[in-house]
Amino acid sequence: MSNPGSIGGLTVAWRLNAAGPFRVLRPYRNVEATAPCRTSIPEVSKQSRVALVKLAKGGRMPRLIVVSNRVADIHSSNAASSGGLALAMGGALKEEGGVWLGWSGKAIDEDDSPPHFETVGKVTLARIDLSRCHVDEYYNGYANRTLWPLFHHRTDLTAYEQSFRDAYLDVNRTFAHAIRSFVQPDDVIWVQDYHLIPLGRELRALGVDNRIGFFLHIPWPARELFVTLPQHADLVWSLFGYDLVGFQTDKDLKAFCDYFETELGAQPDEDGLMDLFGRRLLARSYPISINPSEMVELGRSENAQESFRRVREGNAGRKILLGVDRIDYSKGLPHKFAAFSRFLERFPERRGTASLLQIGQPSRSLVEEYQDVGDELVAEAGRINGRFGKLDWMPLAYHTQSYGRDALAGIYRAADVCLVTPLRDGMNLVAKEFIAAQDPEDPGVLILSRFAGAAEQLTEALLVNPYDNEQCAEAIAQAIDMPLTERIERWRTLNATINRSSLSSWKEDFMHDLRASKDGRHEAAAGVFSF
Ligand code: GDG
């Protein structure tokens, strides 16, 4: 709900804040009224181009070119920030050789830079610095204030600004030009996530005829909400620049197909192929996973043993409930705290017998809605501790520092119960990491939101509706009381599921289908297509 106004020459958009007892109006964005971002396309130097072409010739062809918003530091596998995507892409690239292109994370005063290349072994990292304006309007704007909230069904937080969309298209164009400068005929391009939906179309418009795949890490929204996006058809249509589009779950794929059926009267065939206006798109689901053996291996490390010991000793004689989430409104953290509070209220005899350890990794802190969630959690944790705490028991520990992946493996193993309760989530890798890290003889219990993509596969978890306080409080009690035989039985099934579809098989399945995909490409290369 926004209502643009003007204060002292600034355009100010207002949103309704429903957090408190009163609904107050406050600005969610302060931008100069005019000044769109400048958009000169950066040139890749001849020297860099020659070096890259040489590299391509020296390596095993064809190369994989991965493109994502950020390029991870794949040379440090234990970096606190290394998530599933970094590990998957880093692994694929190290194995096959190739290039990873994306934003460096730097905001500069000038226009977007050409990529800076860094090659280690068979992998070249290509990092682009973005102008401050683009960071604000593309990254903090269209990606994280428009697409992220909308795709997570938070239309109340979605900002529909033309300048955001313009910057989004600019940055996608910048990336496309950078790729065109070094792409070789047999290279396969794999584009990641919602930041880069139009990249395939931009590449086609530049005559890039390679195989190009796209994977969406977040959920695809319900049609009724998606159509609130101005120029929604253009965004969808731009996906026809790809040969293959992958979703996390069958549910997402279904929502995507529903859009075509209802808005355009088109339907995919049983293989997922869609023909529309003479172009062809293959759409399938590829649930992302983890490499379970990596989690088991990390669990044996010294840091894991140490964190395991410290968590257990700090909670001696008590059940340990654990949460590990990015601080994001989609993760349902305030709902989780409320469920824990309800658990303590409903079962007074259990006070002092269990503690919740919530690890919250700060993210997107320049976006106001994220600051709001962070503030709310600190206040709520204090309220719960103030209300229920005793001299020798703090019910809820809320940490915002990052842990190494090895330390995290030990923390997972030390927990009796893991609460993964997002309001909406593409997959959720924490749920899978927790299962993989457990002791097979004495495994913990997973409480999982039915709205996480992972719930489609992990049906032996205790599935809950995170909006239902009572049900979540009961699930906590059930998890704590669960007999060992039932815990083992559930865990075995969950672990078998995870082992059937690892991160490596996710990547291989997608790459296999992408390499096998054909045509549509040539028609797409021919034209500019937009609604
Ligand atoms: C998006 C989609 C989809 C967390 N704290 C620490 C830490 N983490 C790691 C976890 C896990 C990763 O971050 C979080 O992954 P999720 O899957 O839960 O969530 P998103 O970041 O929202 O990711 C999601 C995913 O993409 C992949 O497709 O599953 O649905 O939203 O790996 O372990 N890692 C370390 N220290 C921490 O303190 N090292």
Distance CA 341, CA 333 (A): 12
- The pLDDT score that the predictor gives to residue 41 is 76
Contact 9, 18 (CB under 8 A): no
Distance CA 180, CA 324 (A): 39
Total Cβ atoms within 10 A of residue 371: 14
From the CA of 508, how far away is ligand 1's center (Å)? 21
170 annotated active-site: no
User: Nearest to residue 243, comparing CAs of 518, 511, 510, 509?
Assistant: 518
Whats the size of the chain, residue-wise?
Answer: 531
- The pLDDT score that the predictor gives to residue 59 is 54
425 annotated active-site: yes
Spell out which residues line ligand 1, taking CB within 6 angstroms.
80, 82-85, 217-218, 288, 324, 326, 359, 361, 402-405, 408, 425-430, 433
Exposed/middle/buried for 304, CB within 10 Å: 0-12, 13-18, 19+?
A: buried
User: Nearest to residue 410, comparing CAs of 359, 448, 458, 360?
Assistant: 359
Exposed/middle/buried for 3, CB within 10 Å: 0-12, 13-18, 19+?
A: exposed
Half-sphere exposure of 350 (CA within 13 A, CB side): 21
3-state secondary structure of 452: strand
Distance CA 433, CA 427 (A): 12
- The pLDDT score that the predictor gives to residue 170 is 96
Residue that has been written with the tokens 């190290």 in this structure? 94
- The pLDDT score that the predictor gives to residue 83 is 62
**Residue 139 vs residues 99, 317, 342: alpha-carbon distances, Å:** 22, 46, 37
- The pLDDT score that the predictor gives to residue 280 is 82
Half-sphere exposure of 108 (CA within 13 A, CB side): 12
Mutation test residue for ligand 1: of 290, 428, 435, the one with most atoms within 8 Å of CB: 428
- The pLDDT score that the predictor gives to residue 73 is 75
Strands 98-108 and 24-32, bridge-based pairing: unpaired
Total Cβ atoms within 10 A of residue 314: 14
From the CA of 484, how far away is ligand 1's center (Å)? 29
Half-sphere exposure of 477 (CA within 13 A, CB side): 18
Looking from the CA of residue 219, the nearest atom of ligand 1 is 30
Structure tokens at 37: 């971002």
- The pLDDT score that the predictor gives to residue 96 is 78
Distance CA 12, CA 30 (A): 5
Residue-wise pLDDT for 65-118, tens only, equals 999 999 987 766 555 455 667 777 787 787 778 999 999 999 999 999 999 999
3-state secondary structure of 160: coil
- The pLDDT score that the predictor gives to residue 53 is 61
- The pLDDT score that the predictor gives to residue 10 is 29
Q: Nearest-5° angle of CA 528, CA 216, CA 97?
A: 85
- The pLDDT score that the predictor gives to residue 2 is 36
Classify residue 231 by its DSSP letter.
T
From the CA of 430, how far away is ligand 1's center (Å)? 6
What pTM value is reported for the model? 0.89
- The pLDDT score that the predictor gives to residue 50 is 64
Distance CA 283, CA 58 (A): 34
- Which residue has the least CA distance to atom 38 on ligand 1? 402
Looking from the CA of residue 361, the nearest atom of ligand 1 is 5
3-state secondary structure of 116: strand
Positions in the chain short of pLDDT 50 = 1-34, 80, 520-531
Q: Which residues contact 166 (CB under 8 A, 6 or more apart)?
A: 36, 37, 137
Three-class SS of 125-154: EEEEEEEHHHHHHHHHHHHHHHHHHHHCCC
User: Nearest to residue 329, comparing CAs of 154, 506, 185?
Assistant: 154
From the CA of 503, how far away is ligand 1's center (Å)? 14
Query: Active site residue: 134, 152, 217, 232, which one?
Result: 217
